[in-house]
């Protein structure tokens, strides 16, 4: 690549046709296109086709409609723009550059430099660039959410729109309209095909969200070729079935038609809007079938020149921004968005004078902080041999916290009665059409869409939670992963956490899910052992405002441990702690467990202690939180010198060897479960106090050299047809 020309002649050549307002707009559109071409070509990676095709649509939206101030891209009542087609990221980077959006720090303070400079665009897809391969929330100011996995951004946009309606219902007052923003999402064929977008669109239609507009780039091209290979449905008809208003623009280059469609969206007050825009993909190199392949393809030098010539662009110019183009978009947005933000700020100051408590709530929420005394009413549960299910305890704790935490809200995928996540206090209410201020959400049986919507709420500074059975976490892995990637504090509640759920059988009994979820970086997973550990898990989860969390709970009742006899549940805050046994004494054997299996370890501990064995029980509700502790603490809980160890968990064994070492014993699942009442199922797979005790004895004897130190505890019979009776 040669360096881009900076001489006046090149700039004049590019702007020679810009004698009118329309011509200057076209010059700006072509600047977006050529910046995308040059960035992809220099990186030899990325997608220029979508930015080239949709540049007129995006430019029209940003210049004439988007209510956003480049000087403050975090203004609370700004319109949101989501590039769900995240593979076309250069479209967004070019817009941010031309709009002169300012870079902000994590606290929302301006840093005095652009969010995306021309040098940033030149380093597209390079290490440490703010112009990453796909847009990343928190990396680049002006990016509302991380997109790339198709459909996720569309789902997030529904969450943003719900947040806008909820904020308006809760905080707007007569004479004070704080929230009336709109949400726009630019979607590709791939987004529209993905099931998560369909789930989210169905919810949006049910809620009749009038502040939501999806712009569908109907270019009929995907990686394998023409969409007719796998997709020929009438998308507009489908969305009409969801309850959306649908509009059509026959040519993406017709900016006036795009503007008319956006005007119609603005005038629609009773449902979301889908605008189907017909475009021709910007470029592609023919494959053997004669269709276009556009996956990570640079055009090549000759095609670049031909394309630029078609735009009337200097063929050898690279990363050229003609004079007046940047000021055109930035000026229009400052003129509209700057005035709106200034007026809004004055209005908020007046609002704070009239509604001080509500204004303080909003300031606290925007700052990502917790309300005062939010945890003051978290209950403490008395010792009880019969106990309660941790899902029951969780529901009690959630309802003790939520009244003091106004923007904590959420719901379940049609399972609130089972997950115990309904908010039952006075004034909680249901979030529905015409009652957007409710705090109980009903997602229907749409786990994937639920997760994506919750993340959209989280980037809107709400504190959302979702709930379903642990086995169905498989349906929502992408939004769980993206929550961790974005560092947003979405809470994912999963109940029915093991084979202990019983007669629903192996289709509903999770095995490998805990291991898979623990593998996600930047995620705290908690599996509490009793009601008090559940309470402390909620305290730990909500105290962390920049990280998502997973809470895994039982269907069955668990004994509430006597905390006068055993260590306090506050140890949950460090991920793992010595629950039973003298912390100052070196034990002969360590029994480790999470969740419902901690009780088994405690029962085995009591039997060993009576026999004079120096045993220790370590409850490990959160491995990842434990790993964040200093080495001194970790070694105090699990002394390296003690190699006689038993781990117990009714799930896959993967990962436990980090704590048992290769001579310890792991009592875990090595197959799928079985359909039967809880007692026989747990016994079949070795989850009994007797089995834990026997494993501990083997470990002690193994250390002394009297017997093998490790025994294969896998079931001897198949759990499918022909199992032992």
Transcribe 634-648 into DSSP letters: HHHHS-TT---EEEE
593: helix, coil or strand? strand
Q: E strands along 635-707, which residues?
A: 645-652, 665-669
CA 181 to chain centre: 22
Q: E strands along 416-523, which residues?
A: 440-442, 463-469, 491-495
Distance CA 667, CA 712 (A): 9
φ/ψ of 604, rounded to 5, equals -65, -40
**Closest Cα partner for 163 from 546, 452, 363, 459?**
459
Q: Does the annotation mark 628 as catalytic?
A: no
Q: How many CB atoms lie within 10 A of CB 400?
A: 18
Do the strands 384-389 and 557-560 form a parallel or antiparallel pair, or are they unpaired? Answer: antiparallel
Hey, what are 308's tokens? 């630029």
Distance CA 431, CA 234 (A): 31
Q: Is the distance from CB of 1 to CB of 318 less than 8 angstroms? A: yes
Q: How many CA atoms lie within 13 A of 695 on its CB side?
A: 30
Out of 392, 447, 536, 597, the active site residue is: 447
User: What element of type H or E holds 216?
Assistant: strand 212-218
Q: Is the distance from CB of 425 to CB of 455 less than 8 angstroms? A: no
User: What element of type H or E holds 114?
Assistant: strand 110-114
- In 494-630, which ranges are continuous DSSP H helix? 513-518, 531-543, 597-610, 623-627
Transcribe 504-533 into DSSP letters: T-TTT--SSHHHHHHTSTT-EEE--SSHHH
- At a CB cut-off of 8 Å and minimum separation 6, what does 431 contact? 162, 166, 207, 409, 411, 437, 438, 439, 440, 441, 442
Q: What pairs with residue 246 in β-bridges? A: 274
Hey, what are 717's tokens? 């019979």
Instruction: Scan for tokens 């405002």, then name that residue.
Output: 545
Distance CA 717, CA 725 (A): 10
- In 135-271, which ranges are continuous DSSP H helix? 152-171, 189-193, 195-207, 235-242, 255-267
Q: Is the distance from CB of 356 to CB of 496 less than 8 angstroms? A: no
Hey, what are 39's tokens? 């960035």
| Burial class of residue 200, CB neighbours in 10 A (0-12, 13-18, 19+) | buried
Q: Is the distance from CB of 590 to CB of 634 less than 8 angstroms? A: no
Transcribe 2-20 into DSSP letters: PPPP-SHHHHHHHTTT-SS
Q: How many helices (H) and strands (E) does the chain have?
A: 26, 24
Q: What is the DSSP letter of 435?
A: B
Q: Is the distance from CB of 32 to CB of 55 less than 8 angstroms? A: yes
Q: Is the distance from CB of 653 to CB of 599 less than 8 angstroms? A: no
Distance CA 584, CA 643 (A): 17
Distance CA 477, CA 466 (A): 13
Active centre residues (catalytic)? 447
């Amino acid at each position: 690549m040669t360096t881009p020309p900076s001489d006046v002649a090149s700039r004049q050549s590019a702007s020679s046709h810009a004698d009118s307002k329309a011509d200057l707009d076209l010059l700006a559109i072509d600047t977006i296109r050529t910046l995308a071409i040059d960035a992809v070509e220099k990186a030899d990676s990325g997608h220029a086709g979508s930015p080239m095709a949709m540049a007129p649509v995006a430019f029209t939206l940003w210049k004439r409609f988007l209510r956003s101030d480049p000087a403050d891209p975090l203004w609370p009542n700004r319109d949101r723009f989501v590039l769900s087609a995240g593979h076309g990221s250069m479209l967004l980077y070019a817009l941010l550059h031309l709009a002169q959006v300012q870079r902000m720090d994590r606290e929302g303070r301006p840093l005095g430099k652009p969010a995306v400079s021309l040098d940033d665009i030149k380093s597209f897809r390079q290490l440490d660039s703010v112009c990453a391969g796909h847009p990343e929330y928190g990396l680049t100011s002006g990016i509302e959410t991380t997109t790339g996995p198709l459909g996720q951004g569309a789902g997030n946009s529904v969450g943003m729109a719900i947040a806008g309606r909820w904020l308006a219902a809760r905080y707007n007052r007569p004479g004070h309209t704080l929230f009336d923003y709109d949400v726009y999402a630019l979607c590709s064929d791939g987004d529209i095909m993905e099931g998560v977008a369909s789930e989210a669109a169905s919810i949006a239609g049910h809620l009749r969200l009038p502040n939501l507009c999806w712009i569908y780039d109907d270019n009929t091209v995907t990686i394998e070729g023409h969409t007719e290979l796998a997709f020929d449905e009438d998308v507009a008809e489908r969305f009409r079935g969801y309850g959306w208003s649908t509009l059509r623009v026959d040519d993406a280059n017709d900016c006036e038609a795009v503007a008319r469609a956006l005007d119609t969206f603005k005038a629609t007050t009773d449902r979301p809007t889908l605008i189907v825009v017909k475009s021709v993909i910007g470029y592609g190199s023919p494959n053997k079938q004669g269709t276009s392949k556009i996956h990570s393809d640079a055009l090549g030098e000759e095609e670049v020149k031909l394309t630029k010539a078609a735009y009337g662009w200097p063929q050898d110019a690279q990363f050229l921004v003609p004079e007046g183009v940047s000021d055109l978009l930035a000026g229009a947005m400052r003129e509209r968005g700057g005035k709106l933000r200034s007026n809004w700020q004055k209005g908020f100051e007046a609002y704070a004078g009239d509604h001080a408590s509500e204004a303080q709530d909003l300031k606290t929420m925007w700052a990502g902080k917790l309300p005062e005394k939010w945890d003051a009413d978290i209950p403490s549960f008395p010792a009880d041999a019969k106990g309660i299910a941790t899902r029951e305890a969780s529901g009690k704790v959630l309802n003790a916290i939520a009244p003091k935490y106004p923007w904590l809200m959420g719901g379940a995928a049609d399972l609130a009665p089972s997950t115990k996540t309904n908010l039952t206090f006075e004034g909680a209410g249901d979030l529905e059409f015409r009652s957007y201020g409710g705090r109980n959400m009903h997602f229907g049986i749409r786990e994937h869409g639920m997760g994506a919507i919750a993340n959209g709420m989280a980037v809107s500074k709400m504190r959302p939670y979702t709930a379903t059975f642990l086995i169905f976490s498989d349906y929502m892995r992408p939004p769980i992963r993206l929550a961790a990637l974005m560092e947003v504090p979405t809470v994912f509640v999963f109940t029915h956490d093991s084979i202990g759920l019983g007669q629903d059988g192996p289709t509903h009994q999770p095995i490998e899910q805990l291991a898979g979820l623990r593998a996600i970086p930047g995620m705290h997973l908690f599996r509490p052992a009793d009601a008090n550990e559940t309470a402390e898990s909620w305290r730990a989860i909500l105290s962390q405002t920049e990280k998502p969390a997973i809470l895994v709970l039982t269907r069955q009742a668990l004994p509430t441990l006597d905390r006068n006899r055993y260590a306090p549940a506050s140890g949950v805050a460090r991920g793992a702690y010595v629950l039973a046994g003298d912390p100052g004494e070196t034990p002969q054997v360590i029994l480790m467990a999470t969740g419902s299996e901690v009780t088994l370890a405690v029962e085995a501990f009591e039997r060993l202690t009576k026999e004079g064995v120096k045993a220790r029980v370590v409850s490990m509700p959160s491995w990842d939180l434990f790993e964040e502790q200093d080495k001194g603490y970790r070694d105090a809980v699990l002394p390296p010198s003690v190699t006689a160890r038993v781990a117990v968990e009714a799930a896959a064994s993967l990962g436990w060897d980090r704590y048992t070492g290769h001579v310890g014993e792991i009592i875990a699942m090595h197959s799928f479960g079985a359909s039967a009442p809880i007692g026989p199922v747990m016994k079949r797979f070795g989850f009994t106090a007797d089995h834990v005790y026997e494993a501990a004895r083997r470990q002690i004897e193994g250390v002394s050299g009297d017997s093998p130190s490790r025994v294969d505890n896998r079931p001897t019979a198949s759990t499918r047809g022909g199992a032992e009776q």
